[in-house]
Homo-oligomer: A and B are copies of this chain.
Amino acid sequence: MPSPKARAAALMASPEDAEAQFYEALRDGDLDRVMAVWADDEEVICVHPGGTRMVGPDNVRAAFEAILANGTIVVHPEHVKRVHVMGSAVHSVLQRMAVTTDEGQRTGWILATNVYAKTAQGWRMVAHHASPGAIDEAPDLGETPSVLH
């Protein structure tokens, strides 16, 4: 039977696997699993919608810990666009989120850029940049040309 470490590596055999684990761990409010998706690299970068930049696993963990202290995050990745280059992958993700406002439960949108690198431990996240979209209405995704040429 493989060790837990080997199983984790097998589960992150692709950027898609790593991404699925990241969002599942956020929905479960499982900080250790959120951090297991990240590369073990002092240079990893994380920007949350508030505009704060975290560098290094300790700071990234502290920020996710603060976020998850408020409970699990109802987040679903949608409309993923991918750029694959040798040894790394960039995913642009529309994060659909349940948001509680003064007017009750609404749908919020966050645009995230997730960068994954192929490491000896499988595919791992090296950067996550999330910034605010709109409430209720999904942002313009640029999937059709915005001007005629």
Q: List chain B residues, Cβ under 8 A from A88.
A: 85-88, 117
| In contact, B54 and A85 (Cβ under 8 angstroms) | no
In this complex, how many residues of chain A approach chain B with their Cβ under 8 Å: the count is 49
How many copies make up the complex?
Answer: 2
Query: Is A77's beta carbon under 8 Å from chain B?
Result: no
Q: Is the CB of A81 within 8 A of B62?
A: no
- Which of chain B's residues has its CB closest to A49's CB? B131
- B-contacting residues, A41-93, CB 8 Å: 41, 43-47, 49, 51-56, 58-59, 62-63, 81-88, 90, 92
Interface residues of A (CB under 8 A from B): 41, 43-47, 49, 51-56, 58-59, 62-63, 81-88, 90, 92, 94, 111, 113, 115, 117-118, 126-127, 129, 131-134, 139-143, 145-147, 149
